[in-house]
Chain A
Amino acid sequence: MLNIKLNPETNIYEPETKTRHRVATALLIVVFFILPFVLAHLGRTGVYWIWVTTEIIIMSLFAMSLNLILGFGGMVSFGHAAFFGVGAYTVALLMKKAAAPLLLALAAAPLMAAVAAVIIGWFCVRLTGLYFSILTLAFSQLLYMVAFQWYTFTGGDDGLHGVPRPDFLSPTNFYLFCLVIFLICVWLMRMLVNSSFGLTIRTIRENMDRAKFIGVNVRFYQWLNFIIAGAFAGLAGGLFAQLNRFAQTEFLHWSRSAEPILASLVGGMYSLMGPTVGSAFLMCLRIVLQQAHKGLVEYWAIILGLILLVMVLFAPGGLIGLVQKIIKKKNG
């Protein structure tokens, strides 16, 4: 799709096999499991921070799902919010109108998002480059408009409020629930990008013509990748609807599609965990600014724009790319 030229050094995703890395990862996971219990002792601010970290986890999942097609597939989608929104509305509608249990609704969310991705993707993968981007934007805005206009089904611009939450899901439990789902998804995605499927996807990104010459069914692989990314985004959307206890048209809006792109770019789109780093960084930055000075959040969009500008001009590899570069320099 869009021709993404890569720095050969950050080009190939190497599974971190070093023991040191494994220990660090395990420690990090343990910290994240303990975190809510520590925060719960801090009273109201603690609950607020549990909520924030839960949102970071969900938005990271969303960003990582986009990065499957953006960073690994080289397909720049401006309409990824479509699947996030479909997932959110699926959970909200099933739980509110059909009184479905949480797990059933959360299982339906990626499924419905995948169905949407099957249809939208079938059209979109026929196009390349800029045209692919514009068509994904058109489809997601189409869904946004439908949700906006269809009052009886989606509640129009009021959205769907008061999604029921099962009693056992206290903020801490919901955090843990999301964390477990997130880790499972990371594990799945990690297997995916290191499988032959993942290698094929990256081959297509690097050189579509050569991929065709060696007999790869390019469209089919891109379609499949698009559907998988859509399903993960749907799951993220479903969790987000449950976190906020509402679904609204804003979930489908183009500005929502921009968030995972920003996170991927800031974190680094050529690595699996880059989008997670980016999401967490942007979210924390926003809160830090909010704490530092209330008025600063007024200028959030400008600050975000300036960060993006600096990243595009000086560090297109993102934060992870920057760190890798520094480590490389250190080692000679």
Chain B
Amino acid sequence: MTEISRRKLFATAGALVVAFSLPGEAETNQKLPGSLSSEPRLSGWIRVDAKGDITVFTGKAELGQGIRTALTQLAAEQLDVAPARVTVVTADTGQTANEGYTAGSHSMQDSGTAIVNASAEVRSLLVEAAAARLGLPAASLSTQDGRVTAPDGRSLGYGELAAALSPDRSATPGNRLKDPKAHKVMGQSLQRVDIPAKVTGGAAYVQDMRLPGMVHARIIRPPSYGATLLELDSAKVEAMPGVLKVVREGSYLAVIAEKEWQAVVAMRSLAGAAKWNAGRALPDPATIFDTIRALPSRAIVIRDDQANVAAGTRSVSARYLRPYGMHGSIGPSCAIGLMQGDSLTVWTHTQGVYPDRQAIAALLKMPQAKIRCIHVEGSGCYGHNGADDAAGDAALLARAMPERPVRVQWMREQENTWEPYTPAMVTEASAALDASGRIVDWQYGVWSNAHSTRPGGAGELIAGWSLPEPTIPSAPVPIPQPEGGGDRNAIPLYNVPNMKVVSHFIPEMPLRVSAMRGLGAYMNVFSIESFMHELAEAAGADQVAFRLKHLSDPRARDVINLAAERFGWNAAAPLAKDHGRGFAFARYKNLAAYAAVAVEVSVDRESGLVRVIRADIAVDSGEVVNPDGIRNQIQGGFVQSSSWTLVEELRWSTAAITSRDWGGYPILRFQNVPQSVTVHLIDRPGLPFLGTGEAAQGPTAAAIANAVADAAKLRVRQLPLSPTRMKAALSA
């Protein structure tokens, strides 16, 4: 420890107490766990107030995935307080650490790991403070219900001891976590803290915020990418009831009114008054996969294993296609902006308050320090939808109407036609089997656009594209392995001696695209696990046994065995007519949660309609914090992925996006969701948390496709497996 840091430490309140647990030199070189490595101050994560109540600060956002509840459990457990005494403050540039985006199933791994360790360390500091006050060894003291208690019955509340926690105190390496066997809160299905308000009409979303003096705005977007405003006579709209202002900056057009309905009516009128030139033409949807395959791409070899083994005796190859898809949030994007003097506050359901602030600062040419972005929940986003763009709109409109909160919500057709879609993708696989039915060679390529065009820069906010000096999107870059973007999960976990995997990154984006739940993992796992089914058939092997034969990771084998067992996997057992069974497995990103899925489907040979009858899913998320939270995420992920796989496909013409509403972009409804989806958890107490929120997306798609192939006795390799496509295949 340097002299400076020692002096600084002793200058702060409670320094004497703190000094007892100073780490040695060797320990300080260890990396702090989770996001503590980027925000080491304990007070950045945990604060104890004078009453002994706990506030947890996370840079991650509640997106409906239940993170607020799981983080509450971590702090309550390690600090020995009731969950009701824990408040969680989520992503807010004015209060929380910069944890980037709430994405990639990282929240438990990064923020959860930081919070569980910070909580444990704060508890140990409180115990040391109590030991000093009571003149007893720390080891003789225990904690419960927010108090430190001595064997003689004396006790001190956390509130009395909180002064010992210096705000500058940094976390130190070392494991202070409780023995998982002693857990009372972690590992329990604590009910979600946000659900009661959501079912009773409480103010739960940014859409529900009503600030004093708030006004309502609506945007009039160009009819297509790159269209510019030629003519506008806004006089009539300006005279409409309640209209406060028509905002026009270049081709950026919006209206602000006192009331929301007035803004909607004025928006429609203004849209009718605006004349636009044609934007850039979109590619022919009929040949989109040829277009994608032909676009210039950069080949990145992400795996190249070569071994001297005998060549295979039998080869198999296949090509798989997935269309553009939509996040399809039920609530269109919304944000509120308030410009007071030279300071701007934006309430937003962005996944990344800090990156969004950076983009807004660039858009408005303001210093970041003058902008505060506060996350407030929105409708589920499942990735980069219109949230950041709406925040950009709110910022621009707050500047146009200073000193009044400006709430802007997009209309359905705006969300549908302007959100960044998940890219259409092409994969090609070929493999060789030896005489024993083992895969000896595996060649795989994936062609894709970028899977993240998130802010950062002003060019990542669509409002900027229409300004008098249009902002330019940053050049897209691939997300590198091991997480990957288009090539996420492109490397199978199976043991194959010769394996080459190439990611073909396509910079040019025919449609606006970005991150959607699972990124490329959805398509790669669909492809790889469909291909495994095809290979198993070629080898004459059972689907489950064939996977296990090529897999050595014991945790992967465990989920596969458990899903098969609970499903009652028996390929020889007869099924009802036109029913089929399918299986798939993946470990998300090859480094997060393991998931194996077994499903039974039926295929109606007349209509082509596929129904999922039942599914059993086995999941290993490392140490389980909230079992029901994981089940909810996996069940939801299964149903959502079923919808992507069976019905979803973006529609457009060369002039415009035509999936303008739910009629043009159908998703699964109640009558077609499965009869049952059962999730089976493998708990790994004491092992690291493994991100789970996206783990079901890929295996679900492949398990369904494999079951469809089993039922229909034919393989459809282009998604979605819609009635139209299935019917065509069945009658071919």
A complexed with B: no
